[in-house]
Chains A and B, each alone.
Chain A
Amino acid sequence: MKQAMVILLALLAALTTRSLGADITLAPPSGVTASDVPNDVGSQILVTWSSSPDEVEPADGGVRALLGYAIYRQVAQTADGLESIGEAGSNQSELGFPANFTFDDVEPIGSVSYGQTTFVDENVNAGGTYLYAVAATGAGGTFSPLAVASLPATAEMQYFNQGKLWFLIIMLIISGVIIAFVMFAKRGGTIKVRPIAGLEAVTEAVGRSTEMGKPVLFVPGILDINDIQTVAGITVLSNVAKTAARYDAKLKVPTARSLVMTTARETVEAAYLGEGRPDAYNEDNIYYLTDEQFGYTAGVQGVMVREEPAACFYMGAFYAESLILAETGNSIGAIQIAGTAMPSQLPFFVAACDYTLIGEEFFAASAYLSNDPEQLGSLKGQDVGKVIAAVLLVIGCLVATLATVTPTQTLEMAQLYIADNILGNAGLAPNEDAVMEIDARWNAVESKVKEEGGS
């Protein structure tokens, strides 16, 4: 029986591989195949094989005979269409490794350790065809004969990553919703945006300054204009400046970056012009203090204590200075409105300010204030996207929880599909191997239950 098995294995090896080379001390792996990695740009080829018969743990706990596998490659055809095989020398076959192949002369393209049976060649050219061979490696630089793949593999570039089909579907839905909302808004439809207390209170804060005859202070954060929070802050500044122009209140904007100062000046000037009050604009009220974080903080504090503004706006990126500024503003009795996306600073602003725009609200301010249909439609569409994400999250959590607490085959399948297909890279069709594995497991469970029921 044992002899028959050996003969059969030998025949199989002979059918699928051709063993070449010398220093044969180990049995080669079998069933070497090479295939293009799907859904990539043609830069990868997957090589798989069945492990060598010598890949066994020594019974006495001694040293393993087989330590790993070395992978070799021959270029069958370049991406430009030139066949390389057959040009290396006269002693080689038309398609394959040379008959005089020696391990000493050729470096493997990669190696994997004991127990592994796959290798991804990431150093291929799209369109190139490659022939792979694998040899088992042992202690002392010994090699098994080469096990050559029966067919070469071509690295192909896929223009469409089918593994991300769900991503495409969701993106199309969200984009469609955004476009639909933008068109709806452009046609005069009303898009309701939740009132944001902090932005509603802008007129109130500026009005307070006018009644009290005191200035409005606007702090656009301490980062430069390339930070998105500073940009969002400047958007709010535009609205504050318009209100200040309308209410004839004095607006002061100390900045920590020169570029922010320039941008703020342009913004405020445009706002005053838009309100028909260019005469009221004074560029000296928008000035640069210092790039130094606490130097700037001290400067702004000084302005607060000396001029006692009736309204303080903090809109941008803030760090440790947030509480110092907000507490100072609170102590002088100003209405304070803050907006930042720095999670660590939000509690300080919430506690010390009258109104705080939190993260998303701060970025939504632009659409909210401008009432521009494109911005409003986009905002609404993004909200729908968030709803989809939240629904998927809830469904996923529910399915995963139920699959753990009361496992059923359907729930496991659903969990697998959400994880691998919707959130993963498996595309639309379920992963057959995983499905079969689940099927087999549940069939086994059913059989066991039947058996126990029968006995």
Chain B
Amino acid sequence: MNQIDPDQIQVILATDCGSTTTKAILIQYVDGEYRQTHRGEAPTTVEKPFADVTMGVVNSVTEIGELAGRRLVDDEGRIITPATDTEGCDIYISTSSAGGGLQMMVAGVIAEMTAASAKRAALGAGSIVMDVIAANDGRRPHDQIQRIRDLRPDMILISGGTDGGTTEKVVQIAELVAPAKPQPRFGSDYSMPIIYAGNIEARDSISEVFSEGGFDLQIVDNLRPVLERENLGPARDKIHDIFLEHVMAQAPGYDKLMGWTGAPIMPTPGAVGDILQTVAKLQNINVVGVDIGGATTDVFSVFDETFNRTVSANLGMSYSISNVCAEATMANVLRWVPFDMDERELRNHVKNKMIRPTTIPQSRESLMFEQAVAREALRLAYKQHKEFATTLKGVQQQRTVGDTFSQETAGQTIVNNMKLDLLVASGGVLSHAPRMHQTAMLLIDAFEPEGVTMLAKDSIFMMPHLGVLASVHPKAAEQVFARDCLIYLGTCVAAKGMPKAGKPCFSWELSGDRSGSGTIHGGEMQLVELAEGETGTISLAPARGMDLGEGPGKKVEREVRGGTVGLILDGRGRSLELPQERVACQATVQGWLDSLEVYTEEVQPAAV
């Protein structure tokens, strides 16, 4: 791949090869800024009978070319680079999650320490973590070996021990993996890549263990050189390298595709993580992103420049919808539905959705039910994310006598809704909701943002493309992210605390492009018009005990940005509690839905 001068880049072509669809976008330098101009998509062709991913890529790119009136594919079926005035692009980049994406198994000594860091590294690189093997995971060695044997990961990441720490335990872990001889998913001649990122003093012993058996051992810096600090970069980079060199090289057509791209192909979730990190860093904000799919839900967060990603493997809107209902319980799902529903009918609906994942709601009732399920799926996924995104465990604490009665354990979550600035949604049920108000309401109910939080959705699931673009041209990625990728829904203002129903929760005064003032009472929601592109300053005076970001009862002034929904004022309190009694619950939920005009227009079946 030739290094390209970012200043010379005018036309960027990006594709994301998903399991079913290959999505392509064209980014062009227009009027002094980068804009996404056209998009196209075609079925992915990684599976037989085509067995060549580039066919789908060419099809989607051809569609863009036709739309843009620009020839992007030459007669030999290759993408034309560099660009001229009428044809080609300056750089072509791609991400991939075809064939199930990157699947890994990780191992460490202690599940909450080095194994957790290894899991963070793998997830951050965009992989699906199939299992975590640790010395204290409660399984007997023969069970662990059997599990490793049963899994067919693309690669294995082994960590364990601080530098100068335990050697014995790390070698024991390696001695579980080596005799298990795990087989890779692709290619019979493919050596299983093992990345070792543990105690440097154990490297020789580890090399010896994996010297036989057809393993491809790669050694990188310890991802936990001391327990007080993580060093995930080298392990993540190595995962990306191996993804390209081994995993992608085995997938049909990827060797050809790699020859076309101007930057390394990235796993799709890894690219999403990268763009969120880039945006959080450039704008100095805290971001949470969510991608809810049919089988899994990915949650990304960047708080104080610390990135975390989780994959909730059993929370999704089609293949995993039954599991969502089981895990959340039907009662919790139905609390979001403001009318009575026949439980038998609901179960049929759930099972139908599971076996026919592409079906879309045909009635207002089924749409509301599906969105109720989505609320619970998102809530559970975010809960899992909070539990995973924590401070490091096993770290020495520094105390003073003042801490006598306020000692906190390590491993507290770093996810703080009050500090959250931007919440980005993507995934069918969120992106394709008939009304943006529904997307906003889903996000608020599931994530319970506190203080002042901007809500947005990924318009056409462009974040993966921009993630890989960020590695080549961060400025272009940020500009497109802000202008074309995100559809701003509006700003949510919510007070933390438990207000009494009907009593003042906070008063507000808006100035700027729009002006207005009022008081929000406990249990009340209000929608204030603030259109896309409009901004304003909101002054907030919370009631005693309520917190809007500066502490209980303290006044707050913030810049707010409008969107397709507007300014949402939420006086329901945090944490959000719904009445236990069914009739009261229905009335309450209906009141909220009416306040935000969530289902006021006639609902058309959602288009996917």
Task: For the complex of A and B, list the 7 residue pairs with the smallest distance between their C-beta atoms, beginning with the closest.
Answer: A213-B166, A208-B394, A354-B397, A207-B110, A197-B407, A212-B165, A213-B165
Give B151-173 as 1s and 0s: 1 = Cβ < 8 Å from A's Cβ atoms. Answer: 00000000011101111110000
Residues of chain B contacted by A246 (CB below 8 angstroms): 136
How would you classify the secondary structure of chain A's contact residues: helix, strand, loop or mixed? Answer: helix
7 contacts between A and B (CB under 8 A): A200-B409, A204-B409, A205-B394, A207-B394, A210-B109, A212-B161, A354-B397
**By the criterion CB–CB under 8 Å, are A213 and B112 in contact?**
no
- CB pair B409–A213 under 8 Å, yes or no, is no
Q: Would you call B136 and A247 a contact (CB within 8 A)?
A: yes
Asked if B409 and A211 make an inter-chain contact with CB atoms under 8 angstroms apart, the answer reads no
Instruction: From known contacts A204-B393, A204-B394, infer whether A350 and B404 are also in contact, taking CB-CB under 8 Å.
Output: yes
The total of chain B residues at the interface (CB under 8 A) is 34
From known contacts A212-B165, A213-B161, A354-B397, infer whether A197 and B135 are also in contact, taking CB-CB under 8 Å: no
Q: Which residues of B sit under 8 angstroms from A201, Cβ to Cβ?
A: 409-410
- Chain B contacts of A214 at CB under 8 A? 165
The yes or no answer to A358 lying at the interface (CB within 8 A) is yes
B167 near A213 with CB under 8 A, answer: yes
* A347 contacts B by Cβ under 8 Å: yes
Q: CB-defined interface of A185-213 with B at 8 Å, one 1/0 digit per residue?
A: 00000000001011011011101101111
Knowing A203-B112, A204-B411, A356-B404 are in contact, say whether A212-B393 is a contact too (CB < 8 A).
Answer: no
* Per-position 1/0 for A313-356, Cβ under 8 A of B: 00000000000000000000111000000000011001111111
Q: Is the C-beta of B401 less than 8 angstroms from some C-beta in chain A?
A: yes
Q: Are B396 and A213 in contact (CB under 8 A)?
A: no
Q: Are B169 and A210 in contact (CB under 8 A)?
A: yes
**Is A248 at the interface (CB under 8 A from chain B)?**
yes
Q: Which residues of B contact A210 (CB under 8 A)?
A: 109-110, 135-136, 166, 169
**Given A201-B410, A207-B136, is A351 in contact with B160 using a C-beta cutoff of 8 Å?**
no
Contacts of B168 in A (CB 8 A): 213
- Binary per-residue interface labels of chain A (127-152) against chain B in the complex, 1 for a CB within 8 Å, 0 otherwise: 00000000000000000000000000
A207 touches B112 (CB 8 A): yes
Asked whether, in the complex, the Cβ of B410 is within 8 Å of the Cβ of A204, the reply is: yes
With an 8 A cutoff between CB atoms, is B113 at the interface? yes
Q: Which residues of A contact B136 (CB under 8 A)?
A: 207, 210, 246-247
- B residues near A356, Cβ cutoff 8 Å: 404, 407
Interface residues in A157-177 by Cβ distance below 8 A to B read none
A208–B228 CA distance with the chains assembled, in angstroms? 10
Contacts of B169 in A (CB 8 A): 210-211, 213, 248
Nearest Cβ in chain B — how far from A344, in angstroms?
13
Contacts of A333 in B (CB 8 A): 396
How far apart sit A205 and B393, CA to CA, in the bound complex (Å)?
9
**A300 and B213 alpha carbons, distance in the complex (Å):** 47
List of B residues within 8 angstroms of A248 by Cβ: 135, 169
- Chain A interface residue number, banded: 20 to 34
Summed over the interface, the residue pairs from A and B with CB atoms below 8 Å come to a total of 93
The distance from the CB of B26 to the nearest CB of chain A, in whole angstroms, is 49
Do A355 and B394 touch across chains, with their CB atoms under 8 A apart?
A: no
A213: nearest residue on chain B (CB-CB)?
B166
- Whether A247 and B396, one on each chain, are in contact in the complex, defined by CB atoms closer than 8 angstroms, is no
Q: How far does the alpha carbon of A248 sit from the alpha carbon of B399 in the complex, in Å?
A: 29
Q: Is the CB of A353 within 8 A of B399?
A: yes
Residue on B with the closest CB to A348?
A: B401
Q: Is the CB of B165 within 8 A of A211?
A: yes
A contact residues around B401 at 8 Å (CB)? 347, 350-351
Assuming A207-B394, A347-B401, is B112 touching A198 (CB within 8 A)? no
The one of A247, A346, A351, A358 in contact with B110, judged by C-beta atoms closer than 8 angstroms, is A247
In the bound complex, CA of A207 to CA of B411 (Å): 13
Most buried by A among B396, B405, B410: B396
User: Are A198 and B407 in contact, with the CB atoms below 8 A?
Assistant: yes
Distance (whole angstroms) from the CB of A362 to the closest CB of chain B: 13
Task: Assess whether B556 is interfacial by the CB under 8 Å rule.
Answer: no
B212 lies within 8 A of chain A by Cβ? no
Q: Is B114 an interface residue (CB 8 A)?
A: yes
Contacts of A353 in B (CB 8 A): 399
Per-position 1/0 for B85-123, Cβ under 8 A of A? 000000000000000000000000110111000000000
Let me know if B400 is at the binding interface, CB within 8 A: yes
Contact B400–A351 (Cβ < 8 Å) = yes
Q: How far is A212 from B113 in the complex, measured between Cα atoms in Å?
A: 11
Task: Establish whether residues A207 and B396, one from each chain, have CB atoms under 8 Å apart when the complex forms.
Answer: no
CB pair B396 A334 closer than 8 Å: yes
Known contacts A212-B164, A358-B404; 15 additional CB pairs below 8 A are: A204-B112, A204-B409, A207-B110, A207-B394, A208-B113, A210-B109, A211-B113, A211-B161, A211-B166, A211-B227, A211-B394, A213-B165, A335-B394, A351-B399, A354-B399
Q: Are B403 and A350 within 8 A (Cβ)?
A: yes
Measured CA separation A327–B135 after assembly (Å): 31
CB neighbours of B399 from chain A (8 A): 350-354
State the Cβ distance, B128 to closest chain A Cβ, in Å. 26
Q: How far is the CA of A334 from the CA of B227 in the complex (A)?
A: 11
- When distances are taken between beta carbons in the complex, the residues of chain B under 8 Å from A204 are 112, 393-394, 409-411
Asked whether B345 is an interface residue with its Cβ less than 8 Å from the other chain, the reply is no
Q: Is B204 in contact with chain A by the CB < 8 A criterion?
A: no
Distance of A331 from chain B, by nearest CB (Å) = 11
